[in-house]
Structure formats: structure tokens, C-alpha cells
Amino acid sequence: MGSINVVVTGRVQGVGYRWFVHELAVSHDVSGWVRNRRDGAVEAELHGDQAQIDDIVRAMRTGPPHAHVDTVELREIPRQTNHGFEIRRAR
């Protein structure tokens, strides 16, 4: 099991990026959350099987159509006991 914090920069707001991540997480049975940040980035926490998280991060490096990803920063975090995956309000 793994847990990571992901911050993605580029043209990632207003292009369906959060919904893209939500659908990936649900289909890979990964819990956590995703949200827009006020600085224009998208931030997510992913908790689950490491291979599934790796698949999601690989897809996040490209994003949905109309997105343009500049950077993807990863940071390991302590394991959380989250259930489900949610889209949160900007912070």
C-alpha cells in the first residue's frame, strides 16, 4: 500500500482535470481526494495499491484533452484510512 501527495502545474484548471483524476482513482480502487489550488495547480492525495497509484500518476502526466501538464511533483505521505475518492473545493 502506498500514499502520495501530487501537485500538477500547467494548464490543468478549467479542462476537466479533477474529474479526470476522480475517474482514474475510482476505476483503480484508489482512495483520496483532488482539488484546484488558488495558485493554478491541481493537488491530489492518492492512497492504495502502489501499482494502481503508479498507473494514475502516469496518466496524470498527460492529463485529459485540452490540458497541458508542465510539472508533476510527488511526495510520499503517511498512509491514510480514506474511503472513496472526492473532489474538494479549491484551497
From 5, 11, 35, 36, active-site residue? 36
Question: Do residues 69 and 10 touch, judged by C-beta distance below 8 A?
Answer: yes
Does the active-site annotation cover 79? no
Does the active-site annotation cover 36? yes
From 18, 37, 38, 61, active-site residue? 18
| Angstrom distances, CA of residue 82 to CA of 32, 41, 43, 68, 91 | 6, 23, 16, 29, 19
Q: Could you give phi then psi for residue 53, rounded to 5 degrees?
A: -60, -45
Q: Which residues are catalytic?
A: 18, 36
